[in-house]
Amino acid sequence: MHISNIFSNFAVELINFENIISIMDISVLVPLYNEAESLPALHEWIVSVMQAHRFSYEVLFVNDGSTDNSWQVIKDLRAKDEHVRGICFRRNYGKSAALHCGFQAVQGDVVITMDADLQDSPDEIPALYKMIVEEGYDLVSGWKQKRYDNKLTKNIPSKLFNATARSVTGIQLHDMNCGLKAYRQEVVKNIEVFSEMHRYIPYLAKNAGFGKIGEKVVQHRKREFGESKFGMSRFVNGYLDLMTLWFLNKFGKQPMHFFGLVGSVMFLLGLMAIVVVGGMKLYALAHGIAAMLVGVNPYFHLSILMMILGCMLFLAGFLGELIIRNSHERNNYLIREEIVS
């Protein structure tokens, strides 16, 4: 399986992705950037958990263009453990890109994602696996109820961010952006993680029809090596991405329902305003009342502006409909089951 078929825009290096015939219980997917120091300890911890619970498994490391020796560490781990696989980007593309490639490559019935910085505990994997397999969840997100991050720069903004996300998406998760998650394989194969949308994977899954989304309190550990790769800008970008997802989900297939409606309302309001301005001028002339010229009346120009903007919005919706009708994904629907004769 050539990785260019998975994510053609990325140049990557691939470690031994041979076809696997046997069914695998768990795929552990670890996106990483400059985490060479923590990888050996994380790998050893994952292996000990897997062996203790007799899971068949793979560990897929996706190296997001690290500038340290993370890739060499992954190759060394592979040399010692055939369960290890890896993808290496030629440059840093971001966590969403790493997850997208990883999701397309994993083989396990249940996919566990976790960060590489040792702040996520592999000891949570068996319970997460059980919630997917035995309790029937499509996706289970971790909730780091007790955090060891800086309260001012991370905890408080994170709570505000998650409160907004719950309100907009309708998904009642306390920590939507938690890196520790478990998925049914069908979920990861039918969602596309792009841009910086890794923050909203539960929302992407919900929009794709996977509505049974659960939450589990998980352990949060202090970072042992290095420092966080995410700055405060992620909160601003996060809100913008959330609004993008909401809009695309609501109007992505029917842009005229938004642009056409808003444009029509603006045009009609502008038209009515012009009628009022003209009527007032005619009334003044008929009764000999002094009144300013229509051309210098500011309300006249505002009315014209509203009509022009209304027309532009309506045309934007119309063009959007033309694009959607010619899109190869216009009838892209997920089928859960099928009965055939």
Q: Clarify whether residues 243 and 267 are in a common domain.
A: no
Q: Clarify whether residues 175 and 291 are in a common domain.
A: no
Q: Strands 181-184 and 139-143, how do they pair? A: antiparallel
Q: Is position 87 within any domain?
A: yes
Give the list of residues 6+ apart from residue 328 with CB closer than 8 angstroms, or none: none
Q: Is position 112 within any domain?
A: yes
Question: How far apart are alpha carbons 22 and 238 in whole angstroms?
Answer: 39
Q: Could you identify the residue written with the tokens 């008929």?
A: 286
Q: Is position 240 within any domain?
A: yes
Q: Clarify whether residues 179 and 277 are in a common domain.
A: no
Greatest Cα-to-Cα distance within the chain, rounded to the nearest angstrom:
98
Cβ-contact 165, 246 below 8 angstroms? no
Q: Clarify whether residues 266 and 247 are in a common domain.
A: no
Collapse the DSSP code of 169 into the 3-class scheme (helix H, G, I; strand E, B; otherwise coil) and give the result.
helix
Tokens of 128: 């997460």
Q: Strands 108-113 and 24-32, how do they pair? A: parallel
Cβ-contact 148, 222 below 8 angstroms? yes
Collapse the DSSP code of 154 into the 3-class scheme (helix H, G, I; strand E, B; otherwise coil) and give the result.
helix
Q: Is position 339 within any domain?
A: no
**pLDDT the model gives residue 256:** 84
Q: How many domains does the chain have?
A: 2
Cβ-contact 111, 29 below 8 angstroms? yes
Q: Is position 259 within any domain?
A: yes
Q: Clarify whether residues 238 and 308 are in a common domain.
A: no
Q: Is position 99 within any domain?
A: yes
Q: Strands 213-217 and 139-143, how do they pair? A: parallel
Q: Clarify whether residues 247 and 265 are in a common domain.
A: no
The DSSP bridge partners found for residue 60 are 29, 85
Q: Clarify whether residues 211 and 272 are in a common domain.
A: no
pLDDT in tens, 48-104: 999 999 999 999 999 999 999 999 999 999 999 999 999 999 999 999 999 999 999
Q: Clarify whether residues 279 and 143 are in a common domain.
A: no
Q: Clarify whether residues 165 and 224 are in a common domain.
A: yes
Collapse the DSSP code of 155 into the 3-class scheme (helix H, G, I; strand E, B; otherwise coil) and give the result.
helix
Q: Is position 293 within any domain?
A: yes
Q: Is position 331 within any domain?
A: no
Q: Clarify whether residues 130 and 146 are in a common domain.
A: yes
Number of C-beta neighbours around residue 90 at 10 A:
10
pLDDT in tens, the chain (341 residues): 444 454 545 555 566 554 444 478 999 999 999 999 999 999 999 999 999 999 999 999 999 999 999 999 999 999 999 999 999 999 999 999 999 999 999 999 999 999 999 989 999 999 999 999 999 999 999 998 876 655 555 666 677 777 877 888 888 898 888 899 999 999 999 998 887 888 889 989 998 899 899 999 998 877 666 565 555 566 567 667 777 767 777 777 778 888 888 999 999 999 999 898 888 888 888 888 877 787 778 888 899 999 999 999 999 888 887 887 776 665 555 556 666 65
What's the pTM value of the predicted model, to 2 decimals? 0.72
Cβ-contact 122, 72 below 8 angstroms? no
Residue-range definition of the domain harbouring residue 287: 255-325
Nearest CA-CA partner of 149 in 179, 125, 127: 179
Cβ-contact 169, 206 below 8 angstroms? yes
Q: Clarify whether residues 218 and 279 are in a common domain.
A: no
Q: Clarify whether residues 185 and 316 are in a common domain.
A: no
